[in-house]
């Protein structure tokens, strides 16, 4: 159809005598290696082979190192947000926040999340305000130059359990409990890793000696982790009545940590959906437009008339 419309609109183009237009001569200097000397060819081939070999070696080393020892790779779990158009499970985010607040917050900070971020995601505004007011936040200095504590506000960040890294290390046998806000993308395996590490504690295999204050976890690089097992069945009670098994707690806190590191997750996928729909439409328009514009050229026939004399 595009070609028909094109022919009607631009049939004038067809009438231009093709043999009156001078034929352009194509000169290609750049896309050929014919002109190269043998030395240059040999040098470039050698460089290519060396670069390829080095890449393959690095890849093999990386693979063999991360598969070495007794370390386990976390398996891939069927997270409900894995699909291209799947949102996070917001009931799970809310439960994960409860786990973080009641268990992990004793050791781990989460200083890049504010209480206002919870509004509309896992809590209503009134609930988030109540959550903030539950915490005492350091503020100041006041008019006599002293720091003071006050109930939290929506604009406050989650309070940290320790004033600084040294205090955190001193309280945890020298190990530093990392800030959890961006831990999920910060580790290979992301939420699979978080889930595995929280549920993977076991006795050390024969021959592995742990130091004081270390525990064995095959998912942790090296196996000896300074965080004691934090989650057990029924260690907390969920406000929505979900049975708080260890794996449920680990799954919910992993989803919560996924959200804190990627709060734009749902919006991003929603946007992708819109972009796909709109771009599909405009691609079709563009294809039609192109065929329309080219139809006069694509459907013409060129004849060569040899000179008469």
Residues that bind ligand HEC (CB under 6 A): 99, 103-104, 106-108, 172, 175, 177-178, 183, 187, 194, 197-198, 220, 225-228, 230-231, 253
Distances (CA, A) of 33 to 7, 170, 250: 42, 65, 59
Check whether 90 is labelled as a binding-site residue.
no
Residues in contact with 122: Cβ distance below 8 Å, sequence separation at least 6, in sequence order: 90, 93, 94, 97, 259
Q: Which two tokens stand for residue 85?
A: 């158009």
Using a 10 angstrom Cβ sphere, with 0-12 exposed, 13-18 middle and 19 or more buried, the burial of residue 109 is: buried
CB closer to ligand HEC out of 261 and 295: 261
- C-beta of residue 118 within 8 angstroms of C-beta of residue 97: yes
Q: How far is the CB of 136 from ligand HEC (least distance, A)?
A: 20
Check whether 227 is labelled as a binding-site residue.
yes
Q: How far is the CB of 156 from ligand HEC (least distance, A)?
A: 21
300: number of CA atoms within 13 Å, CB side?
17
CB closer to ligand HEC out of 73 and 269: 73
CB closer to ligand HEC out of 6 and 253: 253
Check whether 202 is labelled as a binding-site residue.
no
CB closer to ligand HEC out of 115 and 219: 219
Q: Which two tokens stand for residue 118?
A: 């919870």
Whole-number Å distance between alpha carbons of 201 and 273: 40
Give the annotated binding-site residues for heme c: 104, 107-108, 227
């Amino acid at each position: 159809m595009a070609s028909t419309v094109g022919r009607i609109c631009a049939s004038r183009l067809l009438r231009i005598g093709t043999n009156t237009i001078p034929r352009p001569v194509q000169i290609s200097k750049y896309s050929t290696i014919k002109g190269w000397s043998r030395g240059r060819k040999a040098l470039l081939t050698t460089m290519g082979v060396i670069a390829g070999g080095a890449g393959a070696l690095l890849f093999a080393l990386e693979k063999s190192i991360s598969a070495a020892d007794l370390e386990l790779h976390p398996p891939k779990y069927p997270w409900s947000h894995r699909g291209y158009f799947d949102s996070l499970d917001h009931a799970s985010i809310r439960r994960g926040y409860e786990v973080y607040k009641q268990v992990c917050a004793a050791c781990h900070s989460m200083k890049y999340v504010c209480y206002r971020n919870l509004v509309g995601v896992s809590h209503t505004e009134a609930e988030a305000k109540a959550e903030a007011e539950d915490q005492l936040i350091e503020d100041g200095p006041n008019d006599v130059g002293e720091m003071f504590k006050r109930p939290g506000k929506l604009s406050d960040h989650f309070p940290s359990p320790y004033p600084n890294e040294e205090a955190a290390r001193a309280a945890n046998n020298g190990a530093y409990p990392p800030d959890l806000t961006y831990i999920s993308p910060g580790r290979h395996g992301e939420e699979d890793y978080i889930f595995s590490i929280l549920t993977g504690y076991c006795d050390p295999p024969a021959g592995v000696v742990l130091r004081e204050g270390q525990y064995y976890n095959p998912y942790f690089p090296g196996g000896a982790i300074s965080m004691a097992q934090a989650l057990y069945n029924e260690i907390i009670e969920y406000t929505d009545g979900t049975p708080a098994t260890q794996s449920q707690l680990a799954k919910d806190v992993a989803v919560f940590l996924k959200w804190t590191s990627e709060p734009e997750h749902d919006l991003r996928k929603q946007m992708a959906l819109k972009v796909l729909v709109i771009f599909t439409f405009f691609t079709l328009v563009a294809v039609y437009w192109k065929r329309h514009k080219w139809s006069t050229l694509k459907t013409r026939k060129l004849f060569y008339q040899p000179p008469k004399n």
